[in-house]
Chains A and B, each alone.
Chain A
């Protein structure tokens, strides 16, 4: 065996090893975080944790039912507002966004995507809380929607752009009008990717805290009134973790585990949704 061949084998082995280590470094934080959450939070989670509301400070027990329901409502509102706008904008960008307006929208979406979420929170406070005079879940949902829209628009655009142009031509040659080509062929073909993008955006919004501090505010009690302040898991974690009581810290860990679990379920369903394709039926 020649020396050059040996050197190449060693180089290859070293590079493979380095890349492998970097992969471990990339996933290690996730495993560490999740392990830590389970270690510190799992013992506090029982049925009551999901169905009961908090008890006054100093007492033990109680749950975060109000925060779980609140997260669901606020994120649901965000989806209701954000999904049509974001996905619609993405379809526009992919299908009709060749001109100057498309360029501007794309640029603004990128800027908005990079805007710190706390800035979006202040913005929502200025426009939706201050004029009304009180905090509300609706304002929180709107703030999260603003956060979701650019993500949704860009992922939707990219997913629709991945659909081969030959499919568009085939539909147009069949006498499909342009809008029908866009919706029935291009968007429908990209639907799996769009659903994944939407679930990722929802998962991301579910974990946001900063935009909610100035909008939904938080609530010690169970509330389903979207025009009133509402608790969310992220706000709950913030309050409990920064509080003075040992019991609160314990509940913060448990809440964090629940939130992480919810986000994980969303991510897994996103994977599952993309797997379900007509083509593999």
Chain B
């Protein structure tokens, strides 16, 4: 696929993810252009979530998880010896399938949680960053009067937008979304999808989804995974109108998966 002269923010080179001795993702090489949304689709168990977790070094936290190959962030391999995965995870934010607000923290503290890991900041800066993040996550108007209130009292959709705010508050370069709407109702799903369009102005987004309509709605590029392999990646319109691989066509037309 041609990157249309866009800068490449993130790129994998023959990335293989393993659990112990069994590989879950085989030699995937793909790149993610700056300020675009790339959807990763495929049937359950095809390795799409595992692949996503390799992009911010979360996979190695799983039991027996390790990788070969490389992941280049702005040209540097995040798996190089001497690279601190904790620092990488501050540059590459992640939102999970289920909302995970910290239950002991207020809404404000949740959003500020990732800001303070780099050391103490003046209260004014934190306030500003929290407001900006909540605005970016389209949650500010709903919570601005209850910032000190409990985060778990929010609805599921609000909690997920809170998690997005928490992920974008430290101003990462890349945002990884792992089926972010899987536990939300249609209204909540729609808000998150709208957010993707706005957030890609600032971030490079990779979204895993099992919902092909969602992929078609939110993404610029789509990668189709099957049995741990990257079958095809292209502009989303191309994938959905004239897929090159018969497997891709079979999946998007609903003949399997």
Contacts and interface: CB of A to CB of B under 8 A. Distances in A.
A177 B152 CA distance: 24
A167 B100 contact: yes
Contacts of A177: 86, 117
A122 interface: no
A9 interface: no
25 contacts: A166-B98, A167-B102, A169-B58, A169-B100, A170-B102, A171-B102, A173-B58, A173-B89, A174-B90, A174-B166, A175-B87, A175-B114, A175-B117, A176-B86, A176-B113, A180-B117, A185-B104, A188-B104, A189-B103, A278-B103, A279-B103, A279-B150, A280-B150, A281-B149, A281-B150
Nearest to A189: B104
A170 B117 contact: no
Interface of B: 56, 58, 61, 86-87, 89-90, 93-94, 96, 98, 100, 102-106, 113-114, 117, 149-150, 152-153, 163, 166-167, 170
Given A166-B98, A169-B100, A174 B89 contact: yes
Contacts of B89: 172-175
Interface string A160-190: 0000101101111111110010000100110
A277 B106 CA distance: 11
A191 interface: yes
A174 B114 contact: yes
A85 B105 CA distance: 27
Interface of A: 164, 166-167, 169-177, 180, 185, 188-189, 191, 277-281
A169 B150 CA distance: 20
A191 B166 CA distance: 23
A34 B205 CA distance: 65
A185 B114 CA distance: 12
Contact of A173 (B56, B103, B106, B152): B56
Nearest to B115: A174
A174 B96 contact: no
A177 B117 CA distance: 8
A185 B93 CA distance: 18
7 nearest A-B residue pairs (beta carbon) = A175-B90, A170-B100, A173-B94, A174-B114, A175-B89, A188-B104, A166-B100
A59 B194 CA distance: 85
B102 A279 contact: no
Contacts of B56: 173
A174 B98 contact: no
Given A174-B166, A175-B117, A169 B96 contact: yes
A191 B114 contact: no
Contacts of B96: 166, 169-170, 173
A174 B100 CA distance: 12
Contacts of B103: 167, 189, 277-279
Given A189-B103, A278-B104, A279-B103, A174 B61 contact: no
Contacts of B149: 281
Nearest to A98: B63
A278 B105 contact: yes
Contacts of B86: 175-177
A172 B61 contact: yes
A174 B152 contact: no
